C-alpha cells in the first residue's frame, strides 16, 4: 500500500480538531498508532474512541504544549512502549492585531504555544529519534510566515519562527536519519475559523467568510483533509528524500495573487 504508516507511532499535537483531527484520522487509516496531545482532554478522548480501528489505535493525553515538563512526561511515557516515528506539530493559536495593538501578553501567549510549544515537542522527541536513527518531524506553519497579512503581526512572527525551526532541525539531524519538513496552508475551513469569525466579526460572519475564501485564486478555502493528504505524504517512506522544505498549500494564494 502506498503511503503506509503500518506499525508506526505518530504523535500529533492539537490532533482532536480541525487539521489535526484530519491528520489523526488519515494516519490511523494508514496503519499508524496515533497519540493525540490536546489541551481539551475530553475532546481528545472522544475523538480517539472514534478513530480506533482494527488496523490502528488512538490514544488521548491532556497536555499544554507550552509546559515543557508535562510534554516530556507524556512523550517519555509513550516512548517506553513505542518507537517515536512521527511528530506532527499542529497545535497553534491565532491573534488579530498590528504591532501597535498587540499587547505584550498577546505576544507571550502566541509565542508560548506556536513557537515554544513546537520546540518543547521536538526537544522531547529528538533523543528517541536519534537513538533509533530515524524519525520524521512535520511542523504546521502558515503562508503568513512568508507574506504579509494585515492585522496578523504576532501570528505571522510565530509562524515565521516555525519555518526557521524546521530548517534548523533538518540541518542539524540529517545525518541521524531524521527528516523535518513544514506545511504552510492558506485559509482552511475548520471549526477554529468559524469560532474566529464569530469572536472577531460578530454579525458579519458570513460576509467575512466569503471574503476570506475569495482571497484564494481557486475561490474557496481548503478542507482539513486536503492538508492531511500532504502531511501523509511527507511523513511516509515515499518522501524519504525530502527534508528541510516548506510546502505552501494555498490554492494559488502566494503566486497567483501577485
Q: Looking at the DSSP assignment, which residues form a beta bridge with residue 200?
A: none
Q: What is the pTM of this model?
A: 0.95
> What residues are labeled active site?
155
Predicted local distance difference test score (pLDDT) of residue 258: 63
Taking only the tens of pLDDT, the chain with its 258 residues reads: 899 999 999 999 999 999 999 999 999 999 999 999 999 999 999 999 999 877 789 999 999 999 999 999 999 999 999 999 999 999 999 999 999 999 999 999 999 999 999 999 999 999 999 999 999 999 999 999 999 889 999 999 999 999 999 999 999 999 999 999 999 999 999 988 898 889 889 999 999 999 999 989 999 999 999 999 999 999 999 999 999 999 999 999 999 986
Buried/exposed 179-209: b ≥16 CB within 10 Å, e otherwise: bbbbbbbbbbbbebbeebbeeebeeebeebb
The alpha carbon torsion through 249, 116, 72, 58 (nearest 10 deg) reads: -30
Q: Closest by alpha carbon to 18, among 226, 257, 176?
A: 226
Long-range contacts of 170-174 (CB under 8 A, 24+ apart): 170/243, 170/244, 170/245, 171/244, 173/126, 173/129, 173/130, 174/243, 174/244
What are the domain boundaries of the chain?
9-186+224-256
Burial of 125 (0-12, 13-18, 19+ CB in 10 A): buried
Largest Cα–Cα distance in the chain?
54
CA-CA distance, 41 to 235, in Å (whole number)?
25
What was the pLDDT predicted at 53?
A: 76
What distance lies between CA 82 and its chain's CA centroid? 21
CATH number for 9-186+224-256 (one of 1.20.120.1200, 3.40.50.720, 3.40.630.30, 3.40.1190.20): it is 3.40.50.720
* Rounded Cα gap, residues 112 and 106, in angstroms: 10
**DSSP summary character for residue 123:** H
For 27, the grid coordinates are 494516519
As a whole number of angstroms, the distance between CA 165 and CA 181 comes to 10
How far apart are the C-alpha atoms of 129 and 76, rounded to whole Å? 12
Q: Which helix (H) or strand (E) holds 178?
A: strand 178-185
Q: 143 near 184, Cβ under 8 Å?
A: yes
Grid cell 510546502 in the structure block, residue = 247
3-class secondary-structure state, position 139: strand
Amino acid at each position: 500500500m502506498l503511503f503506509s504508516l503500518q506499525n508506526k507511532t505518530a504523535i500529533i499535537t492539537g490532533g482532536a480538531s480541525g487539521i489535526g483531527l484530519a491528520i489523526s484520522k488519515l494516519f490511523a487509516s494508514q496503519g499508524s498508532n496515533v497519540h493525540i496531545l490536546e489541551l481539551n482532554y475530553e475532546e481528545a478522548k472522544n475523538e480517539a474512541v472514534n478513530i480506533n480501528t482494527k488496523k490502528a489505535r488512538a490514544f488521548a493525553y491532556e497536555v499544554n504544549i507550552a509546559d515543557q515538563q508535562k510534554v516530556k512526561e507524556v512523550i517519555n511515557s509513550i516512548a517506553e512502549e513505542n518507537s517515536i516515528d512521527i511528530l506532527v506539530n499542529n497545535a497553534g493559536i491565532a491573534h488579530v492585531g498590528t504591532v501597535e495593538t498587540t499587547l505584550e501578553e498577546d505576544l507571550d501567549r502566541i509565542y508560548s504555544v506556536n513557537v515554544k510549544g513546537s520546540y518543547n515537542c521536538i526537544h522531547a522527541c529528538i533523543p528517541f529519534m536519534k537513538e533509533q536513527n530515524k524519525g520524521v518531524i512535520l511542523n504546521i506553519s502558515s503562508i503568513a510566515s512568508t507574506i504579509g497579512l494585515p492585522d496578523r503581526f504576532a501570528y505571522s512572527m510565530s509562524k515565521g519562527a516555525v519555518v526557521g525551526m524546521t530548517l534548523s532541525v533538518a540541518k542539524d539531524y540529517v545525518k541521524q536519519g531524521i527528516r523535518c519538513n513544514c506545511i504552510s496552508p492558506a485559509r482552511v475551513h475548520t471549526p477554529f475559523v468559524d469560532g474566529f469569525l464569530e469572536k472577531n466579526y460578530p454579525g458579519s460572519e458570513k460576509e467575512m467568510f466569503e471574503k476570506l475564501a475569495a482571497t484564494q485564486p481557486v475561490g474557496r478555502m481548503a478542507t482539513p483533509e486536503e492538508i492531511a493528504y500532504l502531511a501523509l505524504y511527507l511523513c511516509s517512506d515515499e518522501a524519504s528524500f525530502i527534508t528541510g522544505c516548506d510546502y505552501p498549500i494555498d490554492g494559488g494564494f502566494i503566486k497567483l495573487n501577485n
